[in-house]
Structure 1
Amino acid sequence: MVSAEVLVTSPGRNFVTLRLRTEDGVVGFGDATVNGRELAVASYLGDHVVPLLIGRDAHAIEDTWQYLYRGAYWRRGPITMAAIAAVDTALWDIKAKLAGLPLYQLLGGRSRRGCLAYGHASGRDIPELFDSIRAHLDQGYRALRIQTGIPGLDSVYGVAASANSAVGNGGSTARYDHEPARRSPAPAEEEWDTRAYLRHAPRVFEAVRNEFGPELPLLHDAHHRLTPIQAARLGKDLEPYDLFWLEDVTPAENTAVLRRVREHTTTPLAIGEVFNTIWDYRALFEEQLIDYVRSPVTHAGGITALRRILDYASVYQIKSGVHGPTDISPVGLAAALHLGIAVANFGIQEYMKHSAATDQVFRPAYRFSEGLLNPGDGPGLGVDYDDEAATAHPYTPAYLPVNRLKLDGSLHDW
């Protein structure tokens, strides 16, 4: 490599991108975005990784991955692994461009026509949720994540903020680029009531099934908010509604507690969007405690590392369910699609459409049609970067909310 640049832009939300260039002028891109900690990974890349890349062989992807992971005493963690992911993805982009092939061809070729995608349907109440479901079905989605407001709570994860809702700490009430992160000097504070949630969620899915029938794949994200026994109860209560998966039922740090959840419910479980390495999954795979892997390419060490994780998962009939909301840039989503098209154990791909401004900066080639995402057939990842468009969107701090219990104000898992 002859140059490496760290690019920070905010076309609707903040993104960190690595651009590598070979002596032949071939350019590769990698996503290094860590939501709410973007400048930390930008500094890690710019100060500690970029100087190590100049002069290295762009073809030596595996050796470079090992050099950045095993060569550093401080391993793992979201910042380190996002930086490694950006380098790894950019090198795969370069290699595929030099080969004149779409990246998935270097990963073994197509295993399917396209990647089944699920969208995010939400509403503050059930009628508003139904409107969102119908709108997503009209857009071509064939699987949907279902999130609703909870009686007694002003705002809830996964539900669009009202233009008039209070968010605290002086933050703007408007969501930015379809996510709960807000541009403000400090995180907004939201209230939470677990008992109200556990009472309400089964009613929501009963209503959705009664209205839309048994065939539509439905997903739900508990967002790490439950204790093991609460998670077991929710999984059991949702069994009659045949969920595609129940996601992140309990904080991911203590993976052993998923044994208790698994003992009590047959609802499929998905976890891992906050995991960074294959080691986070070892016990979950070997004891078959989950059904879907949620790690994105961006936070799990890149295409090289996520391919290893998914190959390991396949031994236990566990499938992919890669994290893909708008805090993953089009570069990261494109990488996930090339991998998803190729691997045998693809399950489903999360897909929230980026803003028009984001697509103007990154110009992705992937396309969504009839519920499926396709990465495109041009050489490499199929994503470019428009410097002029990016310059028009300077970085502005933005944070995900924090969560406090409605009962007494204790800080709770968000």
Structure 2
Amino acid sequence: MKITDARVVVSSPGRNYVTVVIETEDGITGIGDATLNGRELAVASYLRDHVCPLLIGRDARRIEDTWQYLYKGAYWRRGPVTMTAIAAVDIALWDIKGKAAGMPVYQLLGGAAREAVMVYGHASGADLQELCEDFQRHLDQGYKAVRAQAAVPGLEKTYGIGPADRTVYEPASGSAPQEDVWETSAYLDFAPKMMECVREEFGYGVHLLHDVHHRLTPIEAGRLGAALEPYRPFWIEDPTPAEDQSAFRLIRQHTTTPIAVGEVFNSIWDCQQLITERLIDYIRTSVSHTGGITHLRRVFSLAELYGVRSGSHGAGDLSPVSLAAALHVDLSIPNFGIQEYMGHREQAREVFLTSYTFDDGYMHPGEAPGLGVEFDEEAAAAYPYDPKYLPVNRRLDGTVHDW
């Protein structure tokens, strides 16, 4: 089953996505997601100029060999651009293998380890009343787990506050990133009040999550985790930048609040210490940024040995192809925790035809062969690339801070 064509399609059906399309001599087509939010064209170039030409003539069935060839053969290993490019190829090859076998990908991964995958949605508001209204909307839709974010009083803009459709909030068009202003003390005072408000309104029968988005020092994160313990959060996400994995020891010393990190990780080496020293409770690496299905399974297998569960990134900055691939992995692994599900804008549904389903707070990838997603290139052509940047964060004194 030799590969006869490999191409890259950049489109913007509601937001920018990079899609890899691989064709074989047998007439089977596979697709993969190569989207790296804010740096899409870097991955597209890496694929077009350096990876796709190497795929022609290779056996599409040899997924592991192709993964090693692209990872070790480049010499310059790891990094978000390289690993996102490899992931897209890997996902497309699993899609091809599933279609050739006539089975959904999760069956090739060992079959279902559960009936469906619990997902969490994003509730937000400009104030606590608006947050609670949005939280209730999620409960009405059947969600069993909801992330809560609300605007911090005194700050002009707060991360995680979405528009009416709740499917996108961070990219801004223009020739340069927008700049937000941040003040940690205001956030640390407000976050416990927000979580208390949600618990008083909705009780403890729903899983409550919160994203810190890398903005605290380890000791500040420990203080926040301790303050939130009475409200029993399912997790706090990315409490501090994780480049220094040992910093999480300090957080562990000060709180029992569960910790989730990893959406910006791109290899098993980025989280090895966090997992093996049990410094986190959930690993949030995504299938499209961590080398695809092949490498993500290695991350989750390591995590299983140390009692760490999955909680993969699944925001709207990844296409429906990525979400489908994540659901196949989620359904098959023994240590699944939860899956992020933010949804996609209406335009994306014109371009990506999906077979996964959402029902009463759970999702299933479906029984279609392969990933269960079809890509309409003609429809994608109607949505050309739209340059966007992620914001930049500054403290009140002008210092650049983690966004």
TM range (shorter): over 0.9
User: Secondary structure, in 3 states, of the residue corresponding to 1:384?
Assistant: strand
Query: Do the aligned residues in 2 keep the contact of 1:179 with 1:326 (CA within 8 Å)?
Result: no
Q: Name the CA distance, whole Å, in 1 between partners of 2:142 and 2:345.
A: 18
Between 1:178-187 and 1:263-272, the stretch displaced more is 178-187
1:345 and 1:315 mapped to 2: Cα distance? 9
% of aligned pairs identical?
Answer: 59
Give the match for residue 47 of structure 1: 49
Change (3 A) 1:176 1:321: closer
1:335 corresponding residue in structure 2: 325
2:24 pairs, out of 1, 9, 22, with 22
Could you tell me whether the CA contact under 8 Å between 1:252 and 1:274 is conserved in 2?
no
Match of 1:145 in 2: 147
Query: How far apart are 1:359 and its partner, in Å?
Result: 1.3
Of 217, 227, 230, 2:220 maps to 230
Residues 355-414 of structure 1: CA deviation (Å, up to 9, x unaligned): 1110110111111110001101010000111112111100010111111112x1111110
Map 1:363-382 → 2, pairs under 5 A: 363-382=353-372
The alpha-carbon deviation at position 282 of structure 1 amounts to 1.2
Structure 1: which amino acid aligns with 2:383?
Answer: H
State the Cα deviation string for residues 211-267 of structure 1 (Å, max 9, x = none): 100111000110000001000000000000000001000012111100000111000
The answer to whether the Cα contact below 8 Å between 1:13 and 1:176 also exists between their aligned partners in 2 is: no
TM-score (norm 1): 0.96
Of 125, 128, 131, 2:127 maps to: 125
Contact 1:293–1:318 (8 Å) recurs in 2: yes
Amino acid at match of 1:409: G
Displacement, 1:36?
Answer: 0.3
- 1:2 paired to 2:4: yes
Equivalent positions of 1:381-392 (< 5 A) are 381-392=371-382
Equivalent residue of 2:388, what SS? Answer: coil
Match of 2:157 among 148, 152, 155: 155
Return the alpha-carbon distance in structure 2 between the equivalents of residues 179 and 65 of structure 1: 33
Given candidates 396, 400, 403, the residue that maps to 1:411 is 400
Instruction: Find the residue that maps to 1:331 and give its secondary structure.
Output: helix
Partner of 2:92: 90
Q: Provide, for residues 30-67 of structure 1, a one-character-per-residue CA deviation record: whole Å limited to 9, x for no partner.
A: 10000000000000000000010000000000000000
Q: Are the equivalent residues in 2 in contact too, given 1:93–1:103 (CA < 8 A)? A: yes
Aligned pair 1:268/2:242, yes or no? no
Structure 1 residue 160: Cα displacement: 2.3
**Counterparts of 1:282 and 1:401 in 2: how far apart (Å)?**
29
C-alpha root-mean-square deviation of aligned residues, in Å? Answer: 1.1
The one-character-per-residue Cα deviations of 1:315-357 (angstroms, maximum 9, x if unpaired) are 0010000000001100000000000000000000000110111
C-alpha distance in 2, partners of 1:393/1:405? 36
Match of 1:171 in 2: none
Runs of 4+ in 1 over 4 A off after TM superposition: none
Q: Deviations over 1:273-328 (max 9, x none)?
A: 01110011111111100000101000000000000000010000100000000011
Question: Is the Cα–Cα contact under 8 Å of residues 32 and 86 in structure 1 kept in the other structure?
Answer: yes
- In the alignment, which residue of structure 2 is the partner of 1:357? 347
The answer on whether the counterparts of 2:163 and 2:169 sit within 8 Å (CA) in structure 1 is no
> How far, CA to CA, are the matches of 1:331 and 1:200 in structure 2?
37
Amino acid at match of 2:235: W
Say whether residues 1:316 and 2:306 are aligned partners. yes
Aligned partner of 1:180 among 170, 185, 206: 170
Number of aligned positions between the proteins: 401
Distance in structure 2 (CA, Å) of the matches to 1:95 and 1:143: 33
**Conserved 8 A contact 1:176-1:183:** no
The residue aligned with 1:70 is 72
- TM-score w.r.t. structure 2 length? 0.98
SS at match of 1:388: helix
- The answer for the alignment partner of 2:40 in structure 1 is 38
Counterpart in the other structure of 1:106: 108
Q: Is the 8 A contact 1:155 1:161 kept in 2?
A: no
Is this contact kept in 2: 1:12–1:177, CA < 8 A? no
Q: Structure 1 CA distance, aligned partners of 2:166 and 2:197?
A: 29
- Partner SS for 2:248: helix
- Structure 2 segments unaligned to the other structure (5+ residues): none
Which residue of 1 is the match for residue 208 of structure 2? 218
What is the Cα deviation at residue 119 of structure 1?
Answer: 0.2
- Rounded to whole Å, the distance in 1 between the matches of 2:276 and 2:307 is 11
Distance 2:93 2:328 in 1: 14
Question: Which amino acid in structure 1 is aligned with residue 399 of structure 2?
Answer: S
CA shift for structure 1 position 177 = 4.6
Tell me the residue number matched to 1:204: 194
Partner of 1:303: 293
Task: Label 1:306 to 1:410 Cα distance change in 2 as closer, same or farther (>3 A).
Answer: same
Aligned amino acid, residue 49 of structure 1: V
- 1:157-177 per-position Cα deviation (integer Å, ceiling 9, x unaligned): 101269xxxxxxxxxxxx995
Separation of aligned partners in 1, 2:166 and 2:366: 27
Moved more, 86-95 or 135-144: 135-144
| Structure 1 alignment gaps of length 5 or more | 163-174
Counterpart contact for 2:167–2:342, Cα < 8 Å: no
